[in-house]
Structure 1
């Protein structure tokens, strides 16, 4: 193992120049990705803007696209002679930039649909990365996967060890020379290792075009892991699933809940494991047995999964998760039938077909999003029609709906609110929001027995200023996390904060002058921040009364309030707060609050 590891490291170092010439466009994407992550974390205590996550994810898709473009270019006839690496990298640069721009535009907002679609596109590109070099030689895919998996493990270990070494050196220098370095130095070092060094080391192991990888290159450690650990564990797991299958047949109680996912991911992992066992089948009897019989063993378990999934779809319709389970399960069934019935096994079918399935699942009218919205609309229509609530394609209110169906209706509405938009509901009037729920359906959503929707709100003050010229004292309660009751005093002025009740009182010479509650104050301003629906703030960022601020943060101008007593003038500056606001106007629930209390004596 030491010899193999040393050989791999020496090969990676020696091939740095050729790898850069072969993949300089891809290296460029990793550098830009790393620079993006670093640039958005330069300022302390500042959350990265939404564009940081969108751009970083888009650059990942661009990197994958650049790899695919280079490998596709290299597959041309006599690529090493008549086609230059420079041209291929320019094509990769254009392709990767186009994918980056398209996915960045798609990811604005980072909502469920955009993230799911991005994942699907990345899976598609990742699978093409394996399929393109092996399109003409499908038999070479197995060892190609083994080579890249080994290279990925080495790249990760190499980068992790290098990071720990650099972190130790940085910590030692910081301590010995009292440099007081920021913790962000370690974070940025990790970004460089994970974002640039690890991908570059991985690229060092991508086989050259036309290279045939012999089975003799199969790492001994990986071979032992697959033969003596992974496949026996899968065998035991299969036996357990078959015992459960037998229980179902005896009791005739069909599976529900997590059973579908247990079978699905077992089947996915088994399919991936087959790519690692096929190269060993010629020299290892157990690997040959596993490769031959496991494609058959998976099929009855998939049937059990489909039965479980069918029950869920029958009662609750199709959602994105059920769609993915159904589509991925169907693909697995097709692959297992192909492996069992085809006379010549072509492993290239696995990444090619899965890539197509992944892309079609997130794009087009047949995508998971379109099908799920259609299914849930049909489900809502069926429930409402059973009570005669549908007329002229619109819902008519009714108070005769059974409690169970009320819960079903509300669950459908909440599904659209969380994963899509309320405007995607076909039967409700335009501009429908939760505050119109009772008018549209004839009963309130609280009658359905589901808690009122809530939203987290928070505020963390930074780079702020306040006018304190007329105040005599400042009392710091910015971090009252650990004490249930905290009092600060100065010249007869005593300020007391009760953590449990969120109650604040100020006394002068033993006489109470003012008292108030942060709960009452937040309740007085929550009309600016809570409502049903996700409407954006009004012009110039001012919150429209009754609309929910999109990012869930209080505005600085609402975090300062004043109070007056005969002998004191008080200004409270909230520096941090975290609470839950309820859409129906109930009392907010505050989890913590930090503040400064400014006090001016008026009796002097």
Structure 2
């Protein structure tokens, strides 16, 4: 009797559960028809690829581009989602919402699809991240409050977690059923069937489930229950963890800035990423805590009130470090985005001077997302600006003859970057024709352009901070310049406590040691003579091809020559010669 009641109860019966599930799916499709369409097409193409049935799309798209099509459709779905939310929050007619979603999806598809000319200038990860950032931001563009923005974002995160849970439950559950049928009953289950399950659920069913849980109310602010939960959460996260850590972080950055001013030293190459992490954490804590200031305790209230004063010095540090790097190496994607973050952070700090914008976390979230979106594609984007800068650097290097080994390494590094971005034609000499139908990876074109400018395309890239390792394996003739003593197999080491020992032909002992970039030679009981090996000489062995074949040293009126077969030196924190093998040549008259 109890069982019968459970099955027929309108709120808990099987039919009611099925109706609610279908109703939720229907509501998601009705609310987000364009997003649903893009997701369905994405899952459909993915299943075709698993079937290896490319003939259905072969007359439209090259089979090699099917993966690109899946990605582009997924990005189109992602772009249409916040556009539809924007229309719903502003109470536009449903037709307008469909049109906005369709336009946003098609634009995103065109931006990321590699078949379009300007897609080569798209930073894919930044573009996708910006679109995802617009999902909570879009409904509050030009409307709403920080409190309602916070609650909508929290519910949106919950909907996303439910989508991931649905992916795990549906995908894992169906896979477990298939595995049970295969292992327990011996039914043949192909590996492709598992892929179909996960592709269909991951690209369509789970996102559709999450969209069905997306909140429809854009006005509600956190109530007493949410405020109570946040009050307890802020004590753990804000008052006792995030805020104290950020304050200590700020003190460290300010002390480092003071050190640079006092010592007139250059900032470390990683300081930009440290400031980026610092700023990102500040903005995240602001978004989390600002709507609940009435329940915040002293540390969080202090932080939320005075955070603009904690930003200027780190931002100056960031811009100084960027200026040094840009002057030395030009614009790259990472440096462009770091600089953009610095500019946006400065704008947010200045915005706090306006009472209407002060403390508005919608602006804190929306401005970085919008800037990242604009920087992710097009002629104003990070890749396009980097290509322009590196093209200018490359032409400046090759126009100065002769090109030094260090400059040649820089030029080849730039050439590899341009090659990867499909921009070799920007630096190709007028006499060289670039075949657009050549190797997809551009390997031959890279070699052709390098050789046309007199560069060695086989020269290996060496990181500036990488240790120097040299092997003298090539045969060569070398003048001995009046030396009459030759010691073969000399192997001094800076880490060795005992000097390397050999003997003169008449029996006198020769002790050879290496320390502090000095080669010490002591004969018999005489005091050792120290031959200084300059940093310039050590660094000249960085490039195998252009490394010198001999090292000539002088000290106290004596000359020695080394024909190295092996050399190892550290570059950081200081240039230090640690090992050298080879032939040592002396003049007997210098060692009576």
Q: TM-score, structure 2 length as denominator? A: 0.62
Partner residue of 1:130?
Answer: 136
Partner residue of 2:40?
Answer: 31
Q: Number of residues paired by the alignment? A: 421
Partner residue of 2:289?
Answer: 277
Q: Which of residues 164, 174, 184 in structure 1 aligns to 2:172?
A: 164
Relative distance call for 1:213 and 1:172 in structure 2 (3 A) is farther
Q: In structure 1, what is the Cα distance between the partners aligned to 2:453 and 2:346?
A: 43
Partner residue of 1:546?
Answer: none
Report the Cα offset of residue 214 of structure 1: 2.5
Alpha carbons 2:121, 2:377 under 8 Å: kept? no
Report the Cα offset of residue 317 of structure 1: 0.5
Partner residue of 1:254?
Answer: 266
Q: Which of residues 348, 371, 393 in structure 2 aligns to 1:357?
A: 371
Partner residue of 2:381?
Answer: 367
Q: TM-score, structure 1 length as denominator? A: 0.60
Matches within 5 A, 1:341-420: 342=355, 344-385=358-399, 387=400, 398=401, 400-420=402-422
Partner residue of 1:335?
Answer: 348
Partner residue of 1:288?
Answer: 301
Alpha carbons 2:163, 2:206 under 8 Å: kept? yes
Deviations 1:5-40 (A, max 9, x none): x9xx99995744433322233223222222222221
Report the Cα offset of residue 351 of structure 1: 4.1
Report the Cα offset of residue 376 of structure 1: 1.6
Root mean square deviation, CA, Å: 3.8
Report the Cα offset of residue 90 of structure 1: 4.2
Partner residue of 1:454?
Answer: none
Partner residue of 1:61?
Answer: 75
Matches within 5 A, 1:187-586: 187-208=195-216, 210-216=218-224, 218=226, 227-229=235-237, 232-233=241-242, 235-236=244-245, 239-240=248-249, 242-243=251-252, 245-247=254-256, 249-250=258-259, 251-285=263-297, 286-339=299-352, 342=355, 344-385=358-399, 387=400, 398=401, 400-425=402-427, 429-431=431-433, 433-436=445-448, 440-446=452-458
Relative distance call for 1:447 and 1:186 in structure 2 (3 A) is closer
Q: In structure 1, what is the Cα distance between the partners aligned to 2:191 and 2:331?
A: 46
Is 319-328 or 256-265 further displaced after alignment? 256-265
| Structure 1: runs of 5+ lacking an equivalent | 1-5, 388-397, 452-604
Alpha carbons 2:352, 2:359 under 8 Å: kept? yes
Partner residue of 1:19?
Answer: 28
Structure of greater Rg: 2
Deviations 1:141-182 (A, max 9, x none): 222222212222233234323433333232222211111312
Deviations 1:27-67 (A, max 9, x none): 232222222222212349xxx94322211221123213332
Report the Cα offset of residue 293 of structure 1: 3.4
Alpha carbons 1:335, 1:350 under 8 Å: kept? yes
- Aligned residue for 2:32, secondary structure, equals helix
Q: In structure 2, what is the Cα distance between the partners aligned to 1:226 and 1:254?
A: 38
Partner residue of 2:535?
Answer: none
Alpha carbons 2:432, 2:449 under 8 Å: kept? no
Report the Cα offset of residue 332 of structure 1: 2.0
Deviations 1:584-604 (A, max 9, x none): xxxxxxxxxxxxxxxxxxxxx
Alpha carbons 2:243, 2:300 under 8 Å: kept? no
